[in-house]
Structures are given as C-alpha cells and as structure tokens.
Amino acid sequence: MSTVIPAIVAPSATDPLFTGTVERRDVGAKDVRIDIRWAGICHSDIHTVQGDWGPQPYPLTVGHEIVGTVAEVGSEVTNFAVGDRVGVGCLVNSCGECASCAAGAEQYCENGATGTYAAKDVDGTITQGGYATSVVVTEGFVLRVPEAIPFEKAAPLLCAGITTYSPLRHWNAGPGKKVAVIGLGGLGHMAVKIAHAMGAEVTVLSRSEAKRDDALKLGADHYFATEDRETFRTLRNEFDLIINSVSAAIDLDAHLKLLALDGTLVNVGAPSEPMGVRAGTLIGRRRSFAGSNIGGIAETQEMLDFCAEHGIAPEVEITSADQVNEAWARVLASDVRYRFVIDIETLRG
C-alpha cells in the first residue's frame, strides 16, 4: 500500500518541472511520516535532474533539504512524536553495519547509503525527494530542528549546512586558524557563517568584488577577488584550511599555493571536469588536497544544535511551487542570495 501526494516532478532531463504526484509508502514500525513545510533548492537537485551526474530514473521528485512536522509515527518509533519539528537531509538509509556506519559516517557507507532521491530504496522502489507535501523516513535518519532556528530558514542546513560544517570540524577550524572559503553561494555563505562562529579568521575568495559587502556582513574578516591575480601573490602560504564550494573547475594549483605548511584544501563542490595539481605544489609545504561529502546523522544533529546555539541560519529567498522552474534558472545563473526555499503550503490543494 502507498499514498499518492502532491509533488513537483521532473519528467525528463530537459522538460520543465510540473506539479504532479508521487507515491509514499505506508508508515512502517520504525518509520516517521513528516508533513513537509519547507524544502530547500540545492544545486545538486538541478545537476541530478539534468543528467550531469549520469542517467536518472524519471519521472523524479528531487529535494534533500527538508523540514516539517511529524504527522505519524510507527509502533516502534521511540525518538519522535506527532508534532515534533524535524528535518531530513541527503540520506534516508544506510546499511547500519559497515565500519563507516559504525563510526557514524553513514554518508560513506561501504554498502552504499540511500540518497533521499533517485536512489534504490530497501523495498526496491526509487526514493523521491522533498519537493512534495510529505515524506516517510526511518527514524534513524530524521533530525530534530531546534526551535531557535527560524523554520523557513532551517531547510538548507540539511545539505548546505552540514556539507560545510563537517569539513570545518574535521580539519579543526577554530580560534587561531585561518580559513578561506572559495565561492560565496549556497554552500560558501554557510561555510563563512559556521567558520566565523567556530572562531576562525575567515577570508572569502570570490571571482569579483561584487559580493564584498555581503561577505563581510556574513562574518568574513577579509575578502579578495580572484580575478585580480595580485590576490594569489598577496595570500601565498596564508591559510590553514581552504573550503572550495565552487562546483565548476578552478585553477586548483594556484589556490593550493595559498595554503600554509600542512594546510588542506577541501573540495565540497563537485565539478564534473578533472582539475590539475602539480605534485611540487603539495610537496613544497606538505599541503593536502581533500574532499568531503555531507556528514553523518549524529554530526548533522550536532550541526543543527550548533547553529541554534550560535544563532546561525542560512540567508534564504522564499519561492512557491509554481515558480520552481524560474528559481532553478536563477540558481543556474548564480542569482540567489543565498538559497531558495520552497513554501510547500503552495503545493497543497
């Protein structure tokens, strides 16, 4: 049995999204049904639908920045009750048994974590994301959204927030550390806020001067435009950690040279093209080039609690179900400050 609910549907890689329906399974013993209130628009949603990361199972409903209210719980659910403010991010399941899962790093599950959309679910169906009025998720992958976080701003924390929080924590951003953030978009603006709240000295590296005022308001201490080649001389050997949030290829070697001894440049953006590195650039100051993928469930909860404690929330622009195609076009044009959130009430008939 399943329930048919309103959803925003991608019929193919190229056709516009339309308002249609999607099926949700009935609530099982360990499941939580969430009435979705707000859903963030992540660049990954667009990459996925447009086939940039491979062929997809259409029709498809995307969205992995989801917040809402618990509407129903299964008989064995212990951590959630009807009415709770909750969220769901990029994962809805994992094997629970491998070394990564045992370490709380479900995103690196060795048997393949289950993505919130376009993934094969345990029952063989394809998962469908959060551009919809409800979702059914096993309780182990449901997060609590603290009251201190404004609800309409909370959704982007579930992807953009954790994607930047996790590497900042892993590579010890904090007092005395110089952190640079490449790119000031959905991910980058969260990296700035979180690194600042952790106590690091934060520099934004953006292509032009256009976002200087915004960057400083978000918590950056310094701002440099990378179209000015002087920037690369001025900042040589400067940073302990660089978070690259750009999802297109950059001059990686030039940016690696901005790392101090033992510094690390972490890619959280996922460009489809390869990027070149000279070994000498790494060898010269024992530098590292790394990647990081979202975060585990416990770490995602830690991030939500951290944001509540430090008064951090994404900068959002609210959009409606009938404006999602326009919103996607603006995301592709980098014309959003800094994350679109869909008001899911506009999808309810």
Q: Which residues would be at the binding site for Zn ion (CB under 5 A)?
A: 42, 44, 94-95, 98, 101, 109, 111, 159
* Shortest Cβ 297–Zn ion spacing (Å): 12
* Shortest Cβ 212–Zn ion spacing (Å): 26
* Shortest Cβ 333–Zn ion spacing (Å): 18
C-alpha distances out from residue 261 to 20, 237, 256, Å: 54, 7, 11
Q: Which is nearer to Zn ion, 281 or 293 (CB)?
A: 293
Q: Which is nearer to Zn ion, 64 or 196 (CB)?
A: 64
Residue type, 45: D
Q: Which is nearer to Zn ion, 93 or 203 (CB)?
A: 93
* Shortest Cβ 95–Zn ion spacing (Å): 3
* Shortest Cβ 93–Zn ion spacing (Å): 10
Beta-strand relationship, 239-244 and 178-182: parallel
Burial class (CB in 10 A: 0-12, 13-18, 19+), 220: buried
Six token digits for residue 42: 């992540």
Q: Which is nearer to Zn ion, 68 or 295 (CB)?
A: 295
Quote the CA–CA distance of 345 and 349 in Å, as a whole number.
Answer: 9
Which residue in 73, 96, 101 sits closest to 86, CA to CA?
Answer: 73
Intra-chain end-to-end CA distance of the chain, in Å: 23
* Shortest Cβ 305–Zn ion spacing (Å): 20
Number of C-beta neighbours around residue 222 at 10 A = 16
* Shortest Cβ 344–Zn ion spacing (Å): 17
